[in-house]
Structure 1
């Protein structure tokens, strides 16, 4: 689990995925709440089929800027991603399953804690599971074997520096 208010949760998960990829393992990464283009999409797309990123949402604004209809549409797309994850664990389709921003999905109530705990409890023993996002619920924290908290000490956003291509996305 990579959590906390600091930068680097997705980057750490991808780094772990690259290490696994370099050792011949098959990696699936499901990204939630990220619809726009990012550098990792291009890089990972250039690898062979042993590292794949899956997204189920169309590009849209941040959750807090969406109206109720847009939130309902997003929730349906997230449920499709969840079904994909359940199928992935049932069929043991990969060695490492990264679920990026799953805590943001929980925080926004697009999935329930029980649904995420189901993933943790039912993944194959041989499958590594990496979850990312802020605001990890206590029940999921207790089920996690490794939790790393990214803590923001200082961030250039506070000086008005915006998100930069190749650095934040």
Structure 2
């Protein structure tokens, strides 16, 4: 890739992670190497299984494996989660320094920012480190203005209607 950009998928609608995964799938088809770091996701999801079939060209990393929602955690669990998030950012920085992939996806990174598990400055530092030829995709709700300013593309997923409103829970293979 000659010129990598910074993309953001945000909004209150479904599809932010799905869009990032779709872009990754497309990229692997052209021989690009994709790494995705998923935050705040502890349960199994379909992408963990399907990307294993891409011979190492699409790798997903999770450093925080808690199955609890952040707001259900006690202070000790939150501190432990914060340490794991820090390890994830060490990994991300090393990946960028080594220029070890073509596309780097930081899934639900906005959630770790809004829950104060990582500083906005550390995320901006990651974006500043980006090699010219690497694409970085960030997903999640409530994007800070400083990230919006750095992004080359921002897409908003807006909820118009959602099955949760009818009491339909998340479905295996569709929502996770």
Give the TM-score normalised by structure 2: 0.95
> Paired residue for 1:133?
140
**Structure 1 position 25 matched with structure 2 position 32:** yes
Structure 2 residue aligned with 1:90: 97
Q: Displacement, 1:40?
A: 0.6
Shift of 1:134: 0.3
TM-fit CA distance, 1:58:
2.1
Q: Which residue of 1 aligns with 2:22?
A: 15
TM-score (norm 1): 0.98
* Match in the other structure for 1:100: 107
**How many pairs are equivalent?**
169
Give me the whole-angstrom Cα distance separating, in 2, the residues matched to 1:35 and 1:87: 23
Counterpart Cα distance in 1 of 2:43 and 2:168? 20
Structure 2 unpaired stretches of 5+: 1-7
* Unaligned residue ranges in structure 1 (runs of 5+): none
1:162 lines up with 2:147 in the alignment: no
Q: Find the aligned partners of 1:58 and 1:10 in 2 and give their Cα distance.
A: 17
Aligned-CA RMSD value = 0.6
Question: How many angstroms does 1:60 deviate by?
Answer: 2.4
State how far apart, in whole Å, the 1-side matches of 2:119 and 2:109 are: 10
Q: Deviations over 1:4-37 (max 9, x none)?
A: 0000000000000011100000000000000110
Residue 93 of structure 1 aligns to a residue whose secondary structure is: coil
- 1:4 matched to 2:45? The reply is no
C-alpha separation in 2, matches of 1:60 and 1:161? 20
